[in-house]
Amino acid sequence: MATSSALLHPVRLRIVQTLLGEEELTTHQLHERLADIPIATLYRHVGHLVTHELIEVADEQQVRGASERTYRLSPSFANPSAEELNSLSNEELLTAFTVFTSGLIRDFSDYLHAGDPDLHADRVSFAQASFWASDEEVDEFGRTLMTALEGVLTNEPSTGRRRRTLSTVLMPRETAPGGDARRGSTPKSAEPNG
């Protein structure tokens, strides 16, 4: 059974982040991307992640008399469906969310290290806003968002277009003790365009 505690080690988290970006890699390929990690340490942590079902063997081939395994993130944690999420325990849900958020961290790190970042010019933003809404209002918000996305989801690569990712997290939030229940919180934002 996968547990979030299996990710509570910087090497294991980096392995998962790397597999999120590359989909399938051998241990040798992982070592090329994580060259600062000794190979024996890498093997040990890969084994730990396999044991806890966070990654799995995608393929195994004989190469010069040795077995070479290719690993991938376990499908249920890479991009779980609503049905899969509903079947998970709280601990497994925390693991799935940890994998999701670690992917965001990896993507942002890749962006920062790809050159001189210009958040305004690149239209990079991240924000958090709390608001009051009924279930029906949240459903309508989701439909409005999906309608807006439909216009760009089918775009093909062309001059002037960059591949972009929109990540969302929506969840109920309890009012903090002593908090004002009449207002939402002020958005916490690093949005340069707002």
Task: Tell me how long the chain is.
Answer: 194
The span from the CA of 72 to the CA of 146, in Å, is: 29
- Provide DSSP, 53-68: TSEEEEEEEEETTEEE
**Residue 21 confidence (pLDDT):** 65
In the chain, what are the domains?
1-117 (1.10.10.10), 118-151+182-194 (no CATH)
Task: Walk along the chain (194 residues) and give the pLDDT tens digit of each residue.
Answer: 456 667 778 888 888 888 876 679 999 999 999 999 999 999 999 999 999 888 999 998 887 888 889 999 887 666 666 777 787 788 878 877 877 787 788 788 888 988 899 999 999 998 888 999 999 999 999 999 999 999 898 899 999 999 888 888 888 987 765 555 444 444 444 544 44
Total-model pTM: 0.60
- Asked if 49 and 102 count as a contact pair (C-beta separation under 8 A), the reply is no
H-only helix segments in the chain: 10-22, 27-33, 39-51, 75-78, 82-86, 90-113, 135-153
**Residue 114 confidence (pLDDT):** 87
Interhelix angle 10-22/90-113, rounded to 10 degrees, is 70
**Residue 79 confidence (pLDDT):** 62
